[in-house]
């Protein structure tokens, strides 16, 4: 049997050289890790978040590490902001090849206590924002005619309910279905692969308290984590780079487990 895999492909299948990536939520733990991962894999990075000061500080760190990067403050739930973000990426680097959507929001509350306005805020931040980014990034990618990759951060909670998480679980379930539908819309016609990563708890400023190994919260998590620990931002990068790289060209419409085995147990 003849070898059908070329060494050249294997040597470069995880490379993002020559690509431009928009990364939202870049001032967060996962978004920051993805921005750095894409940059170290060779991509030019357009880092985005709502806080201009924090964003500019992080973009400076990326540049200091040798990554070609710029920043653009935007609210991904604002249609005008998303349009401006895509335009800024094209104006700076000429095109957009990768979307790494890493932003998110939650305000846990029992449905009997949650206001309709709070529900709508979760929906806008976690669902509408993904729709807007996908819509305008896809339009740019389609116009370029080169295909592209969309890597959307969802959650393990997209497929599992939880008390106080009615808004968040519903939103992330919607994101997973949107990813599948986007793949049907975009992959065959435009060569744009769309996938999600579904993480459990990863270390961040907001979750640091959960990493106390003596706490009941940590011990309870470990009962359903075969990997034996919670996630670190660096654990997220491999899957994010893989789904943005040529190595994943055959994958689209997938919701990929980044739970340390949580879904298995």
Model confidence pLDDT, tens digit, residues 52-76 = 999 999 999 999 999 999 999 999 9
- Position 163 scores a pLDDT of 87
- Position 164 scores a pLDDT of 85
Whether 5 maps to a domain, the answer reads no
Whether 136 maps to a domain, the answer reads yes
The percent of residues above 70 in pLDDT, for the chain, comes to 100
Whether 262 maps to a domain, the answer reads no
E strand spans, 64-186: 69-71, 98-101, 148-153
Confirm whether 168 is a catalytic residue. yes
> Mean per-residue pLDDT for 93-106?
96
- Position 257 scores a pLDDT of 93
Please give the tally of structural domains in the chain. 1
Q: Which of 53, 12, 60 is nearest to 35 (CA)?
A: 60
> Is the pLDDT score of 263 beyond 90?
no
CATH number of 178's domain: 3.40.50.720
Q: Exposure of 171 by Cβ count < 10 A (0-12 exposed, 13-18 middle, 19+ buried)? A: buried
Model confidence pLDDT, tens digit, residues 178-234 = 999 999 999 999 999 999 999 998 898 878 888 888 888 888 888 888 998 989 999
Residues 49-81: b if buried by 16+ CB within 10 A, e if exposed: bbeeebbeebbeebeeeebebbbbbbbbbbeeb
Whether 174 maps to a domain, the answer reads yes
> Is the pLDDT score of 13 beyond 80?
yes
Distance of CA 226 to the CA centre of its chain: 24
- Position 217 scores a pLDDT of 84
- Position 3 scores a pLDDT of 85
- Position 243 scores a pLDDT of 98
| Assigned token pair, 218 | 């940590």
Whether 264 maps to a domain, the answer reads no
E strand spans, 16-55: 20-24, 44-48
Whether 260 maps to a domain, the answer reads no
Separation of alpha carbons 133 and 137, rounded Å: 6
Rounded to a whole number of angstroms, the distance between the first and last alpha carbons of the chain is 40
pTM: 0.95
Question: If pLDDT is split at 50, 70 and 90, which confidence band does 168 have?
Answer: very high
Whether 2 maps to a domain, the answer reads no
- Position 208 scores a pLDDT of 87
Structural domain including 25 reads: 10-255
The winner for highest mean pLDDT among 92-106, 156-170, 221-235 is 92-106
CA distances to 37, 200, 202, 253 from 260, in Å:
20, 8, 10, 21
> Is the pLDDT score of 171 beyond 80?
yes
Q: What is the mean pLDDT of the chain?
A: 94
Model confidence pLDDT, tens digit, residues 22-57 = 999 999 999 999 999 999 999 999 999 999 999 999
Cβ of 215: how many Cβ atoms within 10 Å?
Answer: 12
Catalytic residue among 93, 165, 168, 256: 168
Whether 263 maps to a domain, the answer reads no
> Mean per-residue pLDDT for 77-106?
97
Contacts of residue 60, defined as CB under 8 A and 6 or more positions apart, other chains included, come to none
| Assigned token pair, 148 | 């592209």
What one-character DSSP code corresponds to residue 65? T
């Amino acid at each position: 049997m003849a070898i059908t895999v070329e060494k050249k492909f294997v040597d470069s299948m995880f490379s993002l050289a020559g690509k431009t990536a928009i990364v939202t939520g870049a001032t967060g733990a996962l978004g920051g890790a993805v921005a750095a991962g894409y940059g170290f894999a060779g991509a030019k990075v357009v880092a985005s978040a709502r806080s201009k000061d924090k964003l500019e500080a992080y973009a400076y760190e990326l540049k200091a590490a040798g990554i070609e990067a710029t920043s653009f403050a935007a609210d991904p739930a604002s249609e005008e902001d998303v349009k401006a973000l895509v335009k800024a990426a094209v104006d700076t680097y000429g095109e957009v090849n990768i979307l790494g959507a890493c932003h998110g929001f939650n305000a846990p509350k029992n449905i009997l206590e949650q206001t309709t306005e709070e529900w709508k805020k979760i929906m806008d931040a976690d669902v509408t924002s993904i729709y807007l980014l996908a819509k305008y990034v896809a339009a740019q990618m389609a116009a370029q005619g080169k295909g592209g990759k969309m890597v959307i951060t969802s959650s393990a909670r997209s497929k599992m309910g939880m008390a106080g998480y009615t808004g968040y679980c519903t939103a992330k379930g919607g994101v997973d279905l949107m990813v599948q539908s986007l793949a049907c819309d975009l992959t065959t016609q435009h060569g744009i692969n769309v996938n999600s990563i579904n993480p459990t708890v990863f270390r961040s400023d907001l979750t640091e308290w959960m990493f106390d190994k003596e706490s009941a919260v940590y011990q309870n998590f470990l009962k359903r984590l075969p990997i034996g620990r919670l996630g670190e931002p660096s654990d997220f990068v491999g899957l994010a780079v893989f789904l943005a790289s040529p190595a994943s060209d055959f994958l689209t419409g997938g919701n990929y487990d980044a739970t340390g085995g949580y879904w298995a147990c």
